[in-house]
C-alpha cells in the first residue's frame, strides 16, 4: 500500500509500508498542535496570575470638631456634612465636596431658584407679547396711526353725545319753564309734563355717564399706545443693531 505524506515544506513523499517516513508527518503535526496548546495555556496563566492594576491611592482632607485640618483614609459621617477634599498621594485635590447647606441657606437657594424661574417665565411671556405686537404694528408709525384713528373715533362719539346732551338740556329747561308757568297760574302740573321732565333728566344722567366713560377710554388708549410705541421703538432699535 502506498501512502502520501507532506513534509514541513508541503513536498509530498510517496512511501510504502516499510518506509521510514511513514510516521514522520503525523508526528510532526501532533507536536505542532501540542506546542500551540502549550503556548495558549501559558498566555492564559500569565493573564490570570498577573497582579491587578493598582487603583490610585487617595486621602480625605477635612476639619475635625476642633477646626483642625485632618488627612485620613476616610471621613467620619458626622463630619462629612462640613465638606471635604479628596487628594492623591502628592496632595493634589482630585475633587472637592462642598459643605451641606444650612436651613437658611437652603431656603435662600430655593428662593433664588423661584425668582430665576419667574424671570424666565416673564422673559418667555415678553417675547410672545413682542411677537404678537409686531404682527399688529410693524413700525412705531403704524401704531401712531392706529392710536390716532381710535382717538378720533372716541372724540367723535364724545362730541355726538355732548350735542345730544345739549339738546336734552334745552328740552329740560323748556319742560321746567312750562311747569313753573302752570304753577304760577295756580294750576296742577299735568302728568305728561312731569313725565317729560323725569324722562329727560334720566336721559341727561345717562349721557353724562357715557361721556365720562368715553373720555376715560380716550385717556386709557393714549396711555396704552404710549407704552406700545415705546416698545416698538425699542424693538426697532434692536433689529437695526
pLDDT in tens, 117-170: 999 999 999 999 999 999 999 999 999 999 999 999 999 999 999 999 999 999
The pLDDT, as a whole number, for residue 55 is: 62
More confident residue, 168 or 16: 168
Distance CA 160, CA 27 (A): 126
pLDDT at residue 101 is higher than 80: yes
- Percent of the chain surpassing pLDDT 70: 77
C-alpha angle 25-26-30 in degrees, rounded to nearest 5: 115
Confirm or reject CATH 1.10.287 for domain 138-240, answering yes or no. Answer: yes
| C-alpha cell belonging to residue 214 | 368715553
pLDDT at site 15 = 46
Residue 10's pLDDT is: 43
- Residue 197 and residue 179 in contact, taking contact as beta carbons nearer than 8 Å: yes
Locus of grid cell 372716541: 154
More reliable by pLDDT, 218 or 8: 218
Per-residue pLDDT of 34-79, as tens digits, reads: 666 666 666 565 545 545 545 678 999 989 888 899 998 899 998 8
Using CA atoms, how far apart are residues 114 and 120, in angstroms rounded to an integer?
10
Instruction: Find the range with the poorest average confidence among 7-11, 179-183, 191-195.
Output: 7-11
Contact 25, 6 (CB under 8 A): yes
- CA dist., res. 177 & res. 95, Å (int): 99
**Residue 87, pLDDT score:** 93
Give the pLDDT confidence score for residue 201 in this predicted structure: 97
Q: Tell me the three-class secondary structure of 47-108, residue by residue.
A: HHHCCCCCCCCEEEEEECCCCCEEEECCCCHHHHCCCEEEEECCCCEEEEECCCCCHHHHHH
Cα–Cα nearest to 237, from 130, 122, 125: 130
**Pair 72, 57: CB distance under 8 Å:** no
Amino acid at each position: 500500500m502506498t501512502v502520501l505524506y507532506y513534509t514541513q515544506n508541503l513536498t509530498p513523499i510517496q512511501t510504502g509500508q516499510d518506509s521510514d517516513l511513514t510516521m514522520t508527518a503525523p508526528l510532526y503535526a501532533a507536536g505542532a498542535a501540542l506546542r500551540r496548546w502549550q503556548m495558549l495555556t501559558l498566555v492564559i496563566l500569565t493573564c490570570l496570575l498577573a497582579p491587578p492594576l493598582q487603583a490610585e491611592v487617595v486621602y480625605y482632607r477635612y476639619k475635625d470638631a476642633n477646626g483642625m485640618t485632618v488627612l485620613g483614609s476616610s471621613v467620619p459621617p458626622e463630619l462629612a456634612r462640613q465638606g471635604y477634599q479628596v487628594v492623591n498621594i502628592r496632595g493634589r485635590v482630585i475633587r472637592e465636596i462642598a459643605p451641606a447647606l444650612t436651613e437658611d441657606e437652603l431656603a435662600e437657594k430655593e428662593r433664588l431658584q423661584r425668582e430665576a424661574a419667574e424671570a424666565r417665565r416673564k422673559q418667555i411671556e415678553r417675547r410672545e407679547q413682542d411677537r404678537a405686537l409686531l404682527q399688529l404694528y410693524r413700525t412705531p408709525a403704524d401704531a401712531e396711526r392706529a392710536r390716532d384713528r381710535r382717538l378720533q373715533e372716541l372724540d367723535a362719539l364724545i362730541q355726538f353725545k355732548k350735542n345730544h346732551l345739549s339738546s336734552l338740556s334745552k328740552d329740560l329747561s323748556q319742560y321746567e319753564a312750562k311747569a313753573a308757568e302752570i304753577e304760577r297760574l295756580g294750576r296742577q302740573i299735568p302728568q305728561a309734563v312731569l313725565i317729560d321732565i323725569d324722562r329727560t333728566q334720566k336721559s341727561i344722567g345717562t349721557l353724562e355717564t357715557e361721556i365720562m366713560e368715553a373720555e376715560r377710554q380716550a385717556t386709557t388708549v393714549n396711555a396704552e399706545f404710549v407704552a406700545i410705541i415705546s416698545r416698538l421703538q425699542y424693538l426697532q432699535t434692536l433689529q437695526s443693531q
